[in-house]
Amino acid sequence: ERMVREIFATAREKRREGFMPFLFIDEAESILGTRRASRYSSILSTLVPMFCSEMDGIDSLNDVVIILASNRADLIDPAILRPGRIDRKIKVNRPNKEATREIYRIYLTNDLPYDGALAKEAENIGAAIEKLIDRFVTWQFARRDENKFLEVTLRSGRKEMLYRADLLSGAIIASVVERAKAMAIKRAIANAGKENSPGLPEGITEQDLQASFNAEYIENDIFPPSDITEDWLKLVDYDSDNVVKIAPFRPLNADRPSPIGGVI
């Protein structure tokens, strides 16, 4: 509570100095969640009203921009989100094909070491990277069995398949590039001092990116480890009332556990 008061006090002070303060609160549901009858909610029952009074109470907050970020907006208390407090609600969707290309351009820069074969594909390294990104993104978004990831069963009985690209995010893309760079570094270290190693790539390759993308999903570090449907619904744009079951897709010939699923 003290920190909330101090944040708003600082914003008012900056406003009086002639600045336009911006308050950015990430994971807003963690401190502004819906109030319920529980021990944890005893904190929210005082924090939420305080936050509301700071926004539009006796000493109303003018000329201050408040931005709340959350991937679970449904858990934020309705009193916070009512018109007059949070006036604009903007949903950031997962990147489509073109947006994915744009994000890869941020991480696959000209100064990274690429395999010589890639550099020869175009007149300059920038054009070669563009070709690499275009091929790789097309490969990621291909509707093939290897890219199947989740099977969603709706109450109507209809089943829908979600592919890996349907769950892409900027964080996953960044991690894929980091994995690919690590692969190239390990390969360079292993081949250091070896004069007779013709044909071995000396930098990042398209195969490195593909292997990194596969590893990101196979290891499942970024996805719920449980079989609880509610956990998976946080990641997919489905109405929870319309979903009966979500089961991670596992190819029959894969050396992994059989499909699991949760029922609600």
Residue 89 lies in a domain: no
More confident residue, 35 or 137: 137
CA angle 125, 137, 124 (to 5 degrees): 10
Q: What is the CATH number of the domain that holds 13?
A: 3.40.50.300
Residue 161 lies in a domain: yes
pLDDT tens digit sequence for 185-231: 998 888 876 665 555 667 899 999 999 999 998 886 667 766 666 66
Residue 48: pLDDT over 90: no
Domain stop point among 50, 81, 112: 81
Edge-to-edge strands, sheet with 148-154:
159-163, 148-154, 243-248, 262-263
pLDDT tens digit sequence for 8-42: 889 889 988 999 999 999 989 888 888 764 455 55
Report the domain count for the chain.
Answer: 2
pLDDT of residue 38: 46
pLDDT of residue 108: 96
Q: Is 140 found in the same domain as 42?
A: no
Q: Is 257 found in the same domain as 217?
A: yes
pLDDT of residue 201: 67
Residue 41 lies in a domain: yes
pLDDT of residue 200: 63
Residue 173: pLDDT over 90: yes
Q: Is 255 found in the same domain as 196?
A: yes
Residue 64 lies in a domain: yes
pLDDT tens digit sequence for 55-65: 875 456 678 88
More confident residue, 232 or 116: 116
Q: Is 41 found in the same domain as 108?
A: no
Residue 91 lies in a domain: no
Residue 158 lies in a domain: yes
Q: Is 251 found in the same domain as 139?
A: yes
Domain stop point among 47, 81, 115: 81
Q: Is 30 found in the same domain as 108?
A: no
Of 137-146, 154-163, 244-253, give the lowest mean pLDDT range: 244-253
Residue 235: pLDDT over 80: no
pLDDT of residue 39: 52
Q: Is 141 found in the same domain as 246?
A: yes
Of 15-19, 42-46, 234-238, give the lowest mean pLDDT range: 42-46
Residue 250 lies in a domain: yes
Residue 254: pLDDT over 70: no
As a whole number, the mean pLDDT across the chain is: 82
Q: Is 66 found in the same domain as 126?
A: no
Residue 78: pLDDT over 80: yes
Domain stop point among 33, 48, 81: 81
Residue 137 lies in a domain: yes
Q: Is 64 found in the same domain as 170?
A: no
Select the highest-mean-pLDDT range: 165-169, 199-203, 242-246: 165-169
Q: Is 65 found in the same domain as 187?
A: no
Residue 85: pLDDT over 60: yes
pLDDT of residue 59: 58
Q: Is 222 found in the same domain as 184?
A: yes
Q: Is 253 found in the same domain as 193?
A: yes
Structural domain of 183: 97-263
